[in-house]
Amino acid sequence: SVISLAQVLDLHMASHDPTQLNRQGVDVGTQYRSIILYSSDQQRTEALEAVARAQEEKGSRKFLGLIPIQSEVVTQVQPLEQFWPAESYHQDYYAKNPYDRYSVVNIAPKLRSNTIRAKIKEIEAQTSAP
């Protein structure tokens, strides 16, 4: 099946914490920022809509399940200026290194998370609907 850009963006937003500025878990630095790069006005519009959906979903949380806290989605939406392919050792990293410490500690838990599984099931239901 083919999935829409909106579905890809929603999965992207579910796969990390878009409220962390220049950080994802223990990884810190601008290279870990949450960003969506677009190459057309339509992609820009869809990216901004995805950020708004994420803000609605992730922006209001409860500490200890009781105390409301507000978190702002800090995902940047910027025009793609130049595409830089990742170094070869980063390409298909998890597929090539499933037992690497980084894969076991960071990637595998994300793939097993209820958030990701729910989002994938939602996308599957949307793409299989008549």
pTM of the predicted model, to two decimals? Answer: 0.80
- How many residues in total does the chain contain? 130
Q: What is the pLDDT of residues 25-61, one digit of tens each?
A: 788 999 999 999 999 999 999 999 999 999 988 766 6
Amino acid at 73: V
At 38 the pLDDT is: 97
Cβ neighbourhood burial of 60 (10 Å; 0-12, 13-18, 19+):
exposed
Write the DSSP symbol of residue 37. E
Q: What is the pLDDT of residue 59?
A: 63
Residue with tokens 């609605």: 56
CA 84/CA 87 separation, integer angstroms: 9
Residues 64-113: tens digit of each pLDDT: 666 666 688 999 999 999 999 999 999 999 999 999 999 999 889 888 88
Q: List, in sequence order, every beta strand (DSSP E) within 54-111.
A: 60-63, 67-70, 76-79
